Structure 1
Amino acid sequence: MAVINFIPEVWSATILDNFKQHAVIEPTVATEYEGDATMGNVVHITSFATPTIVNYAVGTSGVRTVDPEALNDSGQPLNIDQEKAFAFYVDDIDKRQAAGGMEPVTRDAAAGLVEDAETFLADLMLADGTDRTNAEAIEGEGAGNEAFEVVKRLRTELSASPIKAPLSGRTLLVNPEFSAFLLGADSKLTNVDTSGDAAGLRNATIGQLLGFRVAETSLLNPGSATCIAYHRSAIGYVNQVNTIEALRAQNKFADILRGLMVYGARVLRPTAVRYWTEGIGS
């Protein structure tokens, strides 16, 4: 049977929905940058200097004027340089689509795309962020308190001048090795309301600590206790499923569904992405 009634927009929307439901890191970074997400394209991100705050009226002179200033702008390119594809057999695409049975087919594709993209994001933050590691390992009975002190230091650095990262929108991304320390009896983790989050972030959240939303992922530096403290505006990310198409298999009685997703990311403010990794001195 030929693929006659295939609707790529439906499959694309379903895969993207599954992607967002599995994503942990993606909901914590800036995704609002506009641009045509096609392989090789560039999204230009423009930022402006902070305007000077002045007194509008001084004394009782009655003069109420303000002189405008010219703000310097700077731009950073966000390259769409990651291109990932999938292709698999489906017994009958038209029949599955008509019956609404796309979920099992698209769920695994979305999970694979999430793992690839979020591994890329985690590696990028470690590569382009600011290393705040000390030489001492976290160990022994006081491990929970030592981990807490690491997080407290990262928090202080994010809040201090010249970074001054906003208090809202902060995330502490941890891997299972670091979360094992934080979950110690003295680690001071508190509960957080997760009802408004996408399922992936909601399931990955292990608590609130010093103003950070603490989220866990096994994709961050596996094998070494690691945490990254950052504000969402410090990392830009764009992704899009560019192509979904169906065709009849040539060598078996089945259809083929294949798709292409492109994405790109950039650490926009390296000083607002600060990480600690066990056993590596700085």
Structure 2
Amino acid sequence: MSYANFVPKIWAKAIERELERKLVFAEDCNRQYEGDVKQMGDTVKILGVGKPTISKQKGGSIILPDAENVEDTSVEMQINTVAYFNFLVDDIDKRQAVGGLMDALNTEATQELASEMDKDIAALAGTRDAKKLYSDYKAVNADNVLGTLDLALQMLQENDVPADAKIVATVPPWFLTHLRTAYTKLDTDNSDLLKNGKVGRYNNILIKMSNNVYSTASGSNIMVRTERAVAFANPLTHTEPYRPEKRFSDAVKGYVLYGTKIVRPKELMILNVKNG
């Protein structure tokens, strides 16, 4: 039995479904531009508009000034990152007889590809466009962890993020431990939440856990954001089996093409914190 008989198109669709389930950071990104990109090197220009000046006066006739030229804003998201795999599978008949080979390979490839994409989204927390909550990394423990989240939420609201907007904080395990200690109502038993890293809610903030939170030697950079703050596009997922010319083995290779960008920096706040 050749590996080519496993119908790669069906396997590719399975990987796409599993990628969606396993992505943590990407789940809360703006993905509306995904249909606009098809190939390596595509760039999506995301337009924004400025705010016109509002003038006021008391009484009298209104004499309008010259019409204002409201400057637009724009950012560009390049779709130029590829994550890929390429592995051999020997003695395919014997291994397949045991059962579970395809599921195991699918799971491993999916998990690693999803992790790489999530890491790149998380790494945006360390870029110039990501505003840090503190001037230096602040030590966080069970005594001040809730206040830290409260302050991040306050800063977002002062940036005119609506009170009813979905706010997501993706935290590392150590931060979650302090949060659970401080906030006993954190709903960790709700099975509806336990998907894609979801672990609970606090003060209208959806809490997620991920080991891919961007970190440096100084501490962690935790994203607190709306779903519009970061754009992400994964327009292409590809897998194919093949027969290496100089090996008596079957092999599988595949890749994902994607790009990500902070597009609404005022809707993103970074908790630059360390375990204290």
Superposition TM-score, scaled by structure 2 size:
0.78
Q: 1:86 is matched by which residue type in structure 2? A: F
Sort the Cα spacing of 1:192 and 1:158 in 2 relative to 1 into closer, same or farther, 3 A.
Answer: farther
- 2:106 paired with 1:106: yes
CA distance in 1, matches of 2:75, 2:189: 35
Shift of 1:245: 2.0
Aligned-partner SS, 2:142:
helix
Structure 1: give runs of 5+ residues left out of the alignment.
53-69
**Identity between Structure 1 and Structure 2 (%):** 19
What letter corresponds to residue 115 of structure 2 in structure 1?
E
Note closer, same or farther for the CA distance 1:116–1:77 as it changes in structure 2 (3 Å cut): same
The correspondence for 1:219, drawn from 212, 218, 231, is: 212
CA–CA distance in structure 2, aligned partners of residues 182 and 167 of structure 1: 22
Is the 2:125–2:221 contact (alpha carbons within 8 Å) kept by the matching residues of 1? no
Report whether the alignment pairs 1:154 with 2:152: yes
Q: Following the alignment from structure 2 to structure 1, what is the Cα–Cα distance between the partners of residues 2 and 228?
A: 47
Asked if 1:80 corresponds to 2:75, the answer is no
Aligned to 2:172: 175
Between the aligned partners of 2:228 and 2:188, the Cα distance in structure 1 is 21
Where does residue 90 of structure 1 map in the other structure?
Answer: 89
The C-alpha deviation readout for 1:58-106, integer Å capped at 9, x for no partner, is xxxxxxxxxxxx987543221002112111123449x96xx99632221
* CA displacement at 1:134 relative to structure 2: 4.9
3-state SS, counterpart of residue 232 of structure 1: coil
**Are 2:136 and 2:272, in contact at CA under 8 Å, matched by a contact in 1?**
no
Structure 1's 169 and 192: CA in aligned 2 closer, same or farther, altered over 3 A? farther
Aligned residues: 254
Q: 2:262, 2:50 → 1: CA distance?
A: 18
The one-letter code of the counterpart of 1:170 is I
Seen in structure 2, the aligned counterparts of structure 1 residues 137 and 46 have a Cα distance that, compared at 3 Å, is: closer
1:248 counterpart = 2:240: no
Per-residue deviation, 1:2: 6.2
Root-mean-square deviation over aligned CA pairs: 3.4
User: 2: CA distance between counterparts of 1:80 and 1:204?
Assistant: 26
The alpha-carbon deviation at position 7 of structure 1 amounts to: 3.2
Change (3 A) 1:203 1:245: closer
* 1:235-274 CA distance string (max 9 Å, x none): 0000133432221123333211111211100000122211
- Structure-to-structure mapping, 1:118-267, within 5 angstroms: 118-127=118-127, 128-135=129-136, 137-138=138-139, 143-161=141-159, 163-165=160-162, 167-184=164-181, 186-187=182-183, 189-191=185-187, 202=195, 204-222=197-215, 224-267=219-262
Is residue 170–residue 223 contact of structure 2 (8 Å, CA) maintained in 1? yes
Q: For 2:207 and 2:113, how far apart are their aligned partners in 1?
A: 23
1:26 pairs with 2:26: yes
Change (3 A) 1:108 1:268: same
Amino acid at match of 1:133: Y
Match of 2:47 in 1: 46
Q: Tell me the secondary structure at the aligned position of residue 250 of structure 1.
A: coil
- What is the CA distance between 1:129 and its match in structure 2? 1.0
Post-superposition shift, 1:137?
3.8
Shift in CA distance, 137/166, structure 1 to aligned 2, threshold 3 Å: closer
